[in-house]
Amino acid sequence: MLNSAALGFVVLLSAVEAATNERVNYDYYKYHSMPEISKWMTQIAQNHSEVVTIMDYGQTYEKRNISLLKIGLSTGERKKAIWMDCGIHAREWIAPAFCQYFVSQILQTYKTDPKMEEMMKNMDFYVTPVLNVDGYLYSWKDNNTRLWRKNRSPGPPGCKCDGTDLNRNFDANWGTVGVSSDCCSNTYCGSDRVSEPEAQAVASFVGSRKEDILCFLTIHSYSQLLLIPYGNPNFIAPNQDELMEVGLAAAEAIKAVHGKIYKVGTSPAVLYANSGSSRDWARMQGIPFAYTFELRDNGTFGFELPENQIQPTCEEAYSGALHIVNYVHDKTFKGPMDGAGATAAAALWTVLLAVGVTSASM
Amino acid sequence: MATGELNPNHYPAQRAAKAVQHYLNTLYGSPYRVIFLNRVHSGYAEDVADSGRKYKLEITVQDHISNKTENCTAEVLFPGGEQQRPPQVQASLEELPTTDTKAEEEALFQKYKTNQGVLSEHLPDSHGHVDPDMEPFLHLGSAASSFIMLNESTENTLYNVAQVANVTQLKTENDQLKFDYYVLLHDMISQEIIHWKLLFTWSPQEGVKVLQMEKLPHSHHDETPQNNN
């Protein structure tokens, strides 16, 4: 039996622990409503104020803020960056769950993992946990709205349906393939390219920083795929081979975690042709690495992935995303480390050593 | 259209293999057995004059409940012509159908033989949860929906069950449990959610027998129906 003194001591310990515990008390393995996610973002920014700031970079149709977490060590200088967005499609709940997990992971590891610390020094991470805020909120409304995909802007005059497919709305071969002009369709591409405020927000923010952004990752579900540009089969990215190579390596990293197979390829090859995607737009802006992640599963539960799969899905996706981020970082800040790079480095050392020996013997 | 040797990871083989999954579930699906496509190993496609397009596939399928896998050789003929007609599939399994589900099926049958009324809604729910007591009815719904998904399959579809919106049990007839299901099917290619009503019977001996299938003109808002009882 605890007596009151011992009980008091326990309470005191808890208070001390709470005060010093910078970790937000948050269950990353449950689905969270939009208000919960917003609150979490505020707490993360407060608890990690040395590396995290919230940036509101646009408004949805229903006039809600679209926000991201900017995460990185301040250097006072202009920095390169990684972009990640989740929840462009409302019903893909595992995607926002992953963005939150990703944030918690990098904040946890940068203090003890020299590699992550280095990446935080060299780059900023821009993470948007929920891009399609109106749609996500709508999918939480009741049992009848769970499978909503689009945003919530009204259809064109005379249309009895709402919503534009945000991932068909970007200015990237807009309206050419894999879209519908039927405003009731789930792939309705909008009244015009970038007609939607959510797409405009991304285009504006990323567009004004495109020279600095090394990598654009957009997170979706389901199908277990890593998709590379372009959705229109008539266009091939100049670095397609490299995108495939890095993607395949990321898929191997994913498989190593829980054995799940993610297929890699262009959308038209592996899934279907489409146009106006944010990934294609990013690549066309010159951002060299752009990937669409389609997370679990393969159709067993589809969009309604059980909460007991949130953790393993996030763990494997993190492994894949990290592989890409590592590659992109090292390529930018360390130069090519295989083949030519290593040989050149070795040659340089040989010359330096020879010069040193020659000098010493003089 | 892709012809000859197919990349097993690319969409043509994958879509054809999905049709095989649906076909296998019409044969073997039950409250305790649901077959899913696990992997496509190889595929070959050819035009068949005056008939359509034929796929030959080597795949692995998996039972969602026992987790057992089995390799399967299959042929899929997608008929040509203006109007969409169901594909013809040739495939069979030897091992998965022998998983011992008899006792559970019989117990379920006996338990619900004299039951009637709405059994459940929203399987799984928004968070992916299914009440353990209701799992057999989700599986049964997937099995029965496979008749629809097979019928609707083309080279331009990829169907999965998004959710069983409503399970209503009707009066047992001829020693078969009888059900009215409202299901939401997801076609990955169009990204649409398509609403269907299904009337079917089931028993351990007879399996699933579909009486009526009706596609519903939904409200275009990806909404499941309110329970109108």
DSSP symbols for A78-140: --EEEEEEE-SSTT-THHHHHHHHHHHHHHHHTTT-HHHHHHHHHEEEEEES-S-HHHHHHHT
Mutant choice from B221, B226, B227 vs A, greatest count of A C-beta within 10 A: B221
Of A186, A269, A299, the CB nearest to B191: A186
Of A91, A272, A301, the CB nearest to B124: A301
Q: Choose among B126, B131, B133, B137: nearest CA to B182.
A: B137
What band does A336 get if pLDDT is binned at 50, 70 and 90? Answer: low
- Quick: pLDDT tens for B85-114: 999 999 999 999 998 899 999 999 999 999
User: Which chain B residues have a beta carbon less than 8 Å from that of A183?
Assistant: none
What band does B82 get if pLDDT is binned at 50, 70 and 90? Answer: confident
Rounded CA separation B228/B66 (Å): 36
Beta carbons of A187 and A168 less than 8 angstroms apart: yes
What band does A6 get if pLDDT is binned at 50, 70 and 90? Answer: low
β-bridge partners, B55:
B45, B76
Res B1: pLDDT: 81
User: Which chain A residues have a beta carbon less than 8 Å from that of B160?
Assistant: 299-300, 302
- Quick: pLDDT tens for A16-49: 444 444 456 899 999 999 999 999 999 999 999 9
* Interface pTM, i.e. ipTM: 0.95
Query: Average model confidence (pLDDT) for chain B?
Result: 94
Which candidate in A92, A196, A198, A294 is catalytic?
A: A294
What band does A203 get if pLDDT is binned at 50, 70 and 90? Answer: very high
Q: Please indicate whether, in this complex, the C-beta atoms of A263 and B224 are within 8 angstroms of each other.
A: no
Cβ atoms within 10 Å of A156's Cβ, excluding its own: 14
Average pLDDT over residues B149-169: 98
Q: Please indicate whether, in this complex, the C-beta atoms of B221 and A161 are within 8 angstroms of each other.
A: yes
| Degrees, nearest 5: CA angle A45-A49-A52 | 60
Cβ atoms within 10 Å of A94's Cβ, excluding its own: 28
Give the residue from chain B lying closest to A222, CA to CA.
Answer: B188
CA distance B192 to chain A (A): 6
Edge-to-edge order in the sheet of strand B207-216: B117-123, B159-173, B176-187, B192-203, B207-216
Q: Does domain B4-93 have CATH number 3.10.450.10?
A: yes
Beta carbons of B165 and B122 less than 8 angstroms apart: yes
**Known catalytic membership, residue A294:** yes
Res B227: pLDDT: 39
Which pairs count as long-range contacts for A177-185, CB under 8 Å and 24+ apart, including other chains? A177/A231, A177/A232, A177/A233, A177/A273, A177/A274, A177/A275, A178/A231, A178/A267, A178/A272, A178/A273, A178/A274, A178/A275, A179/A274, A179/A275, A179/A276, A183/A155, A183/A156, A183/A159, A184/A155, A184/A159, A184/A160, A184/B220, A185/B190, A185/B192
Sketch out chain A's domains with CATH numbers: 43-361 (3.40.630.10)
Of A143, A184, A263, the CB nearest to B126: A143
Q: Largest Cα–Cα distance of chain A, in whole Å?
A: 90
Beta carbons of A274 and A176 less than 8 angstroms apart: no
Rounded CA separation B1/A140 (Å): 40
Average pLDDT over residues B17-24: 98
Torsion over CA: A295, A297, A298, A303 (sign): negative
| Residue B163, CA distances (Å) to A276, B139, B203 in order | 29, 11, 23
Rounded CA separation B154/B159 (Å): 10
Q: Is A310 helix (H, G, I), strand (E, B) or coil?
A: helix
This prediction has a pTM of: 0.91
What band does A213 get if pLDDT is binned at 50, 70 and 90? Answer: very high
Res B99: pLDDT: 85
User: In chain B, which segments carry CATH 3.10.450.10?
Assistant: 4-93, 102-215
Structure tokens, A68: 């991201």
DSSP code at position A358: H
DSSP symbols for A15-39: HHHHHH--S----TTS---HHHHHH
Average pLDDT over residues A197-210: 98
User: Is residue A13's pLDDT more than 90?
Assistant: no
CATH of region B102-215 = 3.10.450.10
DSSP symbols for A136-168: HHHHTT-TTTTT--S--PBPSTT-S-B---GGG
Cβ atoms within 10 Å of A145's Cβ, excluding its own: 19
